[in-house]
Amino acid sequence: MTAVRIKIYQNLVNYRRELSYGYVQTYPLPTPSMVKGMVHFLLDLDRYHNLKISIQGNYKSVVTNMQRVYKFDRVRNDKKKQVVDMRAHVYAGGDRSLTQGVMFVDEIVDMDLLLHISFDKEELNEQLFKIVRHRTVILGRNEDIGRVDYEGTALVEITPFNGEYRLPYSIYIEPNICEKEQIEGTYYRLPFYYEPISSFEDKRIFNYIEAVYVAKGNKIQYSTINIDNDKNIVSFLSI
């Protein structure tokens, strides 16, 4: 199997956890849906193409930043939008309203990511490898630009591996491997992709996968895992 390995550095980043608003929390690593959105945007794809994603990375620390937020929204029934947070103020004019307030945001410091992406269509892997070296990579918020490491980014072959392996990065792993290895971690139900919507009024219906966030330094010795050409572990998540 062929995959694109992408090595990315981000100095301050937030991988927003859903349903966190006044205090915006972050996942320890980007979710599959974030990575899927990134590569689909890079390739200018207008519909979902099936793919497998492996996500791992290390960071230095997490800080909490205070930000002033300005949000424009539509006014419904010519009424001002009701705001629960008393710190915010709403101004209505025409068919738009402006909401402003204070928000606390968790930000990961010095994130080093190692991603493996494998599309079912081989030609998309080749296109992604070429284009990721020339276009701006954004992963997380709109302002979360990633610096691509050209030497660490490559087209690689994925092969099975049996033997002892110590994790150099924290990583999302399938729950059955953690159960077999008796590895402790944080269980997540991660969004992978959502069904197409036709308007802002439609709700995004996500398809989820189960994964365990395992910290670096843990050892895998009883399970068959995948590795790339440079013996980096590859833990594919897919639907």
- What is the average per-residue pLDDT within 31-42? 95
Which domains does the chain carry? 2-66+103-234 (3.30.70.2660), 67-102 (no CATH)
pLDDT higher than 90, residue 182: yes
pLDDT, tens only, 1-19: 999 999 999 999 999 998 8
The whole-number pLDDT of residue 19 equals 84
The whole-number pLDDT of residue 42 equals 96
Q: Where are the alpha helices (DSSP H) in 79-219?
A: 122-131, 175-181
pLDDT higher than 50, residue 168: yes
pLDDT, tens only, 82-91: 444 444 455 5
The residue ranking higher by pLDDT, 109 or 94, is 109
Q: How far apart are CA 27 and CA 186, in angstroms?
A: 11
Under DSSP, the state recorded for 21 is -
Angle formed at CA 208 by CA 147 and CA 160, multiple of 5 degrees = 65
Angle (deg, nearest 10), helices 122-131 and 32-42: 80
Kindly report which listed range (63-67, 115-119, 193-197) carries the lowest average pLDDT score. 193-197
pLDDT higher than 80, residue 74: no
The residue ranking higher by pLDDT, 124 or 96, is 124
pLDDT grade, residue 102 (50/70/90)? confident
